[in-house]
């Protein structure tokens, strides 16, 4: 199933953030760019390295006008316990979303029903609630926050400059391309 351009559905889940539990809905993801970052489980091995990497880069995501929502099938109380126990996860300031019923993971197509865990999915969602980029990795393949940030910035550039595209490894301020017959066979 292709998610590009698909609008996220209505939902209501709990999240742990800043020492408290709060409700997160579709409305919370609208009006700004969102990174929905699925991971298999709390108190695991690769997951804390990823959440810590995102935490180390959180200011850059906020400067880019994006909020991060990490999501697993654990409850908000397990998120809290992990946040309090792990030095890596203790750095997390963004919402840690609880999806124990699997509603979000099913919608985004990342739920491994047999394991009851989410594959490592990253979904970049525009301010209107539409998916603009996504990747899904198997359970053991960790991700890189800098690449997620670079992809977010490219998605934002393309959204703002619809007649231009970003080549491989593009970063803000670098040269972009304007598709047309003048480029055919020249790159």
Q: Which residues are catalytic?
A: 47
CB atoms within 10 A of CB 87: 8
Q: Which of 146, 96, 141, 105 is nearest to 123 (CA)?
A: 105
Residue 37 to residue 50: CA distance in whole angstroms: 10
The Cα-based distances of 186 to 71, 158, 180, 182, 183 in angstroms read 43, 22, 11, 8, 5
Please give the backbone phi and psi of residue 186, each rounded to the nearest 5 degrees, phi first. -100, -10
């Amino acid at each position: 199933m292709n998610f590009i351009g698909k609008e996220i559905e209505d939902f209501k889940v709990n999240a742990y953030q800043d020492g408290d539990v709060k409700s997160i809905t579709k409305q919370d993801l609208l009006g700004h760019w969102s990174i929905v970052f699925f991971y298999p489980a709390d108190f695991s091995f690769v997951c804390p390295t990823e959440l810590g990497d995102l935490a180390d880069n959180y200011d850059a995501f906020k400067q880019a006008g994006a909020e991060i929502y990490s999501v697993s099938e654990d409850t908000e109380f397990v998120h809290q316990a992990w946040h309090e126990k792990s030095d890596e996860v203790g750095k997390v300031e963004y919402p840690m979303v609880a999806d124990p019923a699997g509603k979000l993971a099913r919608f985004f197509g990342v739920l491994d029903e047999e394991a009851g865990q989410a594959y490592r999915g990253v979904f970049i969602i525009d301010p209107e609630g539409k998916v603009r980029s996504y990747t899904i990795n198997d359970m053991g393949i960790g991700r890189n926050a800098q690449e997620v940030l670079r992809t977010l910035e490219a998605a934002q550039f393309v959204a703002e400059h619809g007649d231009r595209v970003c080549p491989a490894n593009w970063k803000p301020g670098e040269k972009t391309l304007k598709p047309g017959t003048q480029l055919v066979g020249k790159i």
